[in-house]
């Protein structure tokens, strides 16, 4: 796949595709809470000021939560998405670059790098993680989320599992494989956890609204409180906080 083709996978049509049909960008929606949660993690586990880069920043809504406390930067391959991000975060600095080639940024330029459900879309995630490690300062923090192939719901739902519902998920790996890539980039995990079961139905005979409450409350409570306590056996995503060696 060429860079041009990859770029057009994440344009306006992508953000209005069936995958996003049920996604609300409104305040207090699941999408809003997810972005707020990642921003809370940066504040709790990273420095209280400095430069933050989000790779695959999309529409910029996560970075919006981090201003004005941080100087925020966004990298994305799609110009349409970046146009929306510039409107949503006027104080941000945005560049049309690939995660696998962050040459627009200097070594050690950032205090925090965020990769929220980006690496599974990439043809060469080890190269991208090396680049993320390069632009982090020594002692800097990486926050990464990606589908958790060790999720018990993967085995239960099989081809209907959430990780398979986006055709642009071309790099699905086990948690152990992702951690190995981080180690190769000079990054050491500080915390590894998950985000709950937020993609019902998981049981055929139980009404959907009951399943959303029953399965969703642990992840929802964790997101609201900013905790990092759910194990990989209790969630659809792998979340990692990793430090770059000094």
Which residues constitute the domain of residue 19? Answer: 3-244
Mean pLDDT of the chain: 93
Q: What is the pLDDT of residue 2?
A: 42
- By CB neighbour count within 10 A (0-12 exposed, 13-18 middle, 19+ buried), where does 160 fall? exposed
Residues 87-126: pLDDT tens digits? Answer: 999 999 999 999 999 999 999 999 999 999 999 999 999 9
DSSP 49: S
Residue 14 binned pLDDT confidence (cut-offs 50, 70, 90): low
Q: What is the pLDDT of residue 6?
A: 53
Q: Judge whether residue 5 has pLDDT over 50.
A: no
Residue 1 binned pLDDT confidence (cut-offs 50, 70, 90): very low
Three-class DSSP category at 208: helix
Q: How many domains does the chain have?
A: 1
Residues 138-155: pLDDT tens digits? Answer: 999 999 999 999 999 999
Q: What is the pLDDT of residue 24?
A: 83
Give the CA distances from residue 43 to residues 52, 86, 112, 194, 226, in Å, rounded to whole numbers and listed in that order: 11, 22, 10, 19, 10
Round to whole Å and give the CA distance between 76 and 149.
25
Q: What is the pLDDT of residue 20?
A: 54
The helix (run of H) or strand (run of E) holding residue 2 is: none
CATH number assigned to the domain comprising residue 188: 3.40.50.150
Q: Judge whether residue 41 has pLDDT over 80.
A: yes
> Taking the model in full, what pTM does it have?
0.93
Query: Which residue matches tokens 């609300």?
Result: 24
């Amino acid at each position: 796949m060429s860079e041009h083709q990859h770029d057009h996978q994440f344009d306006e049509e992508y953000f209005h595709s069936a995958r996003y049909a049920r996604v609300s960008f409104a305040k207090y929606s699941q999408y809003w809470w997810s972005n707020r949660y990642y921003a809370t993690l940066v504040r709790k586990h990273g420095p209280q000021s400095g430069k933050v880069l989000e790779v695959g920043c999309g529409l910029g809504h996560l970075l919006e939560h981090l201003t004005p406390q941080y100087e925020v930067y966004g990298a994305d391959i799609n110009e349409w998405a970046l146009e929306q991000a510039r409107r949503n975060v006027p104080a941000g600095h945005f560049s049309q670059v690939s995660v696998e080639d962050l040459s627009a940024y200097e070594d050690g330029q950032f205090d925090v790098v965020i990769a929220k459900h980006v690496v599974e879309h990439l043809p060469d995630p080890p190269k991208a993680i090396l680049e993320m490690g390069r632009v982090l300062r020594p002692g800097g923090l990486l926050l990464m989320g990606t589908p958790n192939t060790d999720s018990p719901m993967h085995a239960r739902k099989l081809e209907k599992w959430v990780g398979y519902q986006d055709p642009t998920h071309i790099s699905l790996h086990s948690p152990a494989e992702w951690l190995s890539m981080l180690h190769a980039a000079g990054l050491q995990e500080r915390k590894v956890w998950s985000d709950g079961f937020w993609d019902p139905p998981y049981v055929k005979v139980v009404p959907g609204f009951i399943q959303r409450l029953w399965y969703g409350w642990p992840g929802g409570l964790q997101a609201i409180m900013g905790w990092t306590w759910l194990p990989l056996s209790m969630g659809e995503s792998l979340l990692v906080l990793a430090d770059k060696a000094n």
